[in-house]
Each structure stands twice: as C-alpha cells, then as structure tokens.
Amino acid sequence: MSVAKDGGGAQPALTPWRRIKAIIGGSAGNLVEYYDWFSYASFALYFAPHFFPKGDPTAQLMQSAAIFAVGFLMRPLGAYLMGLFADWRGRRAALAASVGMMCAGSFAIALLPDASQIGVLAPIGLLMARLVQGLSMGGEYGASVTYISEMAGASRRGFWASWHYVTLIGGQLLAMALLLILQGVLPEGDLEEWGWRIPFAIGGAMAVIVFWIRRGMDESPSFETAKAAGVEKARGMMLFTRHPLETGIIFVLSAAGSLGFYAYTTYMQKFLVNTAGFAKDQSAWVMAIALLVFMALQPAVGWLSDRIGRKTCLATSFLLGTILVYPLMSTLAAGPSLGVALGLVILQLVVFSGYSAVNGLIKAELYPAHVRALGVALPYALANAMFGGTAEYVALWFKNQGMESGFYIYVAAISAVAFVVAARLRNTNKTSLIQDH
C-alpha cells in the first residue's frame, strides 16, 4: 500500500529562524521531562532506604528499581492516549499536556512522607507518582520526536532531529550535575535525610515554566497539512493492520536501544559502585563526564547520518555493541583504575551513539503524518517497558543469583537481533514519509 508524504496541499516554507525556534522549544521541554525522569534513578542510592527500610543495599535498590520498572508500564498507555491526542489535536497540545503531568509527579515525590512517617503508604505513594510520570513520558516521546522531525528540513534532518537525544541526555546530565553539587555542598547525612528531595522540587518548578513555553509554540506544518487534507484520523489498530512491518521494526530497534541505554547509563552508575567497587561520588563523576561526551556526539552522528544514511549508523552501532558489551562489562567488573573505567564507559556510549542520534527520526520517517505520533510512540513504549524499564532489575537479579555476566549476554543477544533488523532496513534518507517544509 503506497502512502503519500504528509497528505496534500502546500504549506509556507519554514524560515531558518522559525525552524530553530521550534526545535529549541520542543527540545527544552524534552530536557525537563528527562531530568525529572532520571532524577529518580540518580538519587535512588539516597532515598531507597526511606521507602524500603528493610534489607541490604542491593535489596533496597532492587525494590526502587522495581518501581522504576513499573513506571514504564504506564508508558504504553501514555503513548497510546497522547499519541492519538497528538495526531488528532496537534503536536503542540500533546507536548503541553505531557509536561504538565510530569510536573505533578515531581512535586508529589518532593513532598511525599517516608516509611517512618506513613508506613506502607510511602512506597505506594512513590509508585503512584511514578505511574503519573510514566504516563507523561509515554506521551512525551512520540509528540516531541514527531514535532522535531517534522520541523527539521530534509537536507539536515538527521542533524536537527539528533537534538532530541541531546536534550534526553542533557536531562540525565542535569540530574547528575545536581547530584554532584549536592554531594559537594551537603553533608552525607543531610543528603540522605532530606537533600534527595531537592531535585524533584526543582524539576516540578522547571516543568511549570516549560508548560507555559509550549503553549506558545508553532504547530507542525505536517500536522496542519494532513488536517487540511481531511486525512482519516489515527486509530490504534492502524499500526498493526496497515503498518505492521514498520511497527515491528520500531519495536525491535527500541527493545535493543532502550535496554542498551539504561544498561550503559542509569544502571552503570550503580554497577560502578556495587560491582566495580568505586565510591558513590567517583561513580557519579565518571557518569557525568561520560554523559557530557555522549551528549556532544549526538549532533555529529546526526550530521553523519544525513550523508551515509540512518541505516548504516544503526547497523554499525548494534553490531559493535553486540561484540563489545561482554568484554567491556567484564573488565569494569574487575575494578580497573578510575581512568580506565571512564574510558570504557565512554567507548560504549560512542558506539551506542549510532543508534541514539537517529533512532527517533527513523521512526518518524516510517509513518505518514496522520498516524505518525502514535506510530513513533506506541511500539517504542511497549519495547521500553519490556526491556528498558526492567534493565536495572534484571541486572540486579543476575547479580543476586551470583551470575552477573548473564546480564552482559542478555544485552548482547538483544543487540544482535536488532542488528539483523537494522541491516535489512530501507534507507529512510531517501524514502522518508516526512514532507519537507
């Protein structure tokens, strides 16, 4: 079945300033969303004992990781509801709604009493806040990826779209930077007692600002074109009845990408402490520097994808990731010097950049405008819930069973499957369904 690019009808070309302004606006909200999301993972070492007072540190982290994983279960629902909303009512409206929900979840965690005050209601409250944030994140990904991809010009679409991942990493880096600042200015006891609440309060405040910004953004011309053409409205089953191949491709690529991202970033911070034997502040510094390098790489790889193709970038990333993950993690587990550990973490993130810089854009290029936000969001969210959200828990389970290397094999196996899919992917640089504006 052939599909026209973004429906019919001409729209005025976007000026360079309007294009940049739109991408900055979409990216700013994405940064705050991911800052709020990753604050949970970054500060889990400090707040886990407050909500799960029983057990050793590994058991406490497993319980906080379980809630981290459960939060992902709401992401498919958020992807479905907000994806339809973005395809029906517009990208701008969906972006404002998603950051509003993230704001509510962040303030809830900042103010939530711990188990010593309200007993079992404390972990239940934490779970509810994460479910709201999961709903928000499920809607954020599809709306922001779609909006930024549609606002980017064809000749530099890889470069501009890569800024989505820049802000994703930036949000995580911002959470990590705040962790380092608080570690430096607060006594350990204060950070463990109440200081961990600060990042969630800051995240809620930033979300309020971004909500106001997003309400004033331009709507995507691709959405306006499809709306004016009277194209059939998106429905959930369209992904499986009319676009089953594309939906399957996105699911597999997202499974490996989500698992790899959480293995190499959020779990890596804990791995360096629990397995490699580094101090908490050393682990935080390693990850902060590595993430800074990782973030800086994204526009360069996005630019490269405009020249050699998204498919080439993806396939190379998954192939090298399959080969490297076992020896890299094994070397880190042996407790190398801090400099070697930093180099190995950066190496894995350099390899992973072949996926991260282009992953959102490839998904957007596979779908027509009237179902694009839903198509980008739903299969990604399903894979993210199954593989990304469970990454830390699975890793800690293997560790608890005394066979930690099983997790390395698991990551390599999923990456190998994604390599096969990526190698057979068509070159979306030439077959993109996004109309240029």
- CA trace torsion 208, 209, 211, 215 (10° rounding): 150
Asked whether residue 10 is assigned to any structural domain, the reply reads no
Q: Which domain holds residue 324?
A: 16-431
pLDDT at 374: 84
pLDDT of residue 194: 86
- pLDDT number for residue 297: 94
pLDDT of amino acid 2: 40
For residue range 355-383, what is the model confidence (pLDDT) as tens digits?
999 988 888 888 887 778 888 888 888 89
CA nearest to 107, candidates 178, 158, 168, 36: 36
Angle of helix 198-215 versus helix 16-42 axis, rounded to 10? 160
Closest CA to 91 of 150, 36, 136: 150
Rounded-to-integer distance, Cα 37 and Cα 339, Å: 29
- Mapping DSSP to helix (H, G, I), strand (E, B) and coil, where does residue 392 land? helix
Lowest mean pLDDT among 8-12, 47-51, 389-393, 429-433: 8-12
pLDDT at 432: 66
pLDDT digits (tens, 9 = 90+) for 149-195: 777 777 788 898 888 889 888 887 888 788 888 888 888 888 878 88
What's the mean pLDDT in 291-313?
Answer: 93
**142 falls in which pLDDT band (50, 70, 90)?**
confident
In this structure, is residue 113 part of a structural domain? Answer: yes
Average pLDDT over residues 337-346: 94
With respect to residue 130, please indicate whether it lies within any of the assigned structural domains.
Answer: yes
Mean pLDDT of 334-362: 93
**Chain-wide mean pLDDT for the chain?**
83
Mean pLDDT of the 280-303 span: 90
Number of domains in the chain: 1
Grouping H, G, I as helix, E, B as strand and the rest as coil, residue 43 is coil
Does residue 76 lie within any of the structural domains? Answer: yes
Is 11 contained in some domain?
A: no
**R_g over Cα of the chain:** 21
pLDDT value at 339 more than 60: yes
Query: Phi and psi (nearest 5°) for 24?
Result: -65, -45
User: Which residues contact residue 91 at a Cβ distance below 8 angstroms, ignoring those fewer than 6 apart?
Assistant: 143, 146, 147, 150, 219, 220, 223, 373
Read off the CATH number of the domain in which 361 is found.
1.20.1250.20
- Give the angle 116-189-111 at the CA atoms, nearest 5°: 45
- What whole-number distance in Å separates Cα of residue 201 and Cα of residue 424? 46
* pLDDT, tens only, 236-267: 677 787 878 999 999 999 999 999 998 998 88
- Could you tell me if residue 122 is inside a domain? yes
- Give residue 3's pLDDT: 46
Helices first, then strands: H and E counts in the chain: 22, 0
Please, which pLDDT band fits residue 9 given cuts at 50, 70 and 90? very low
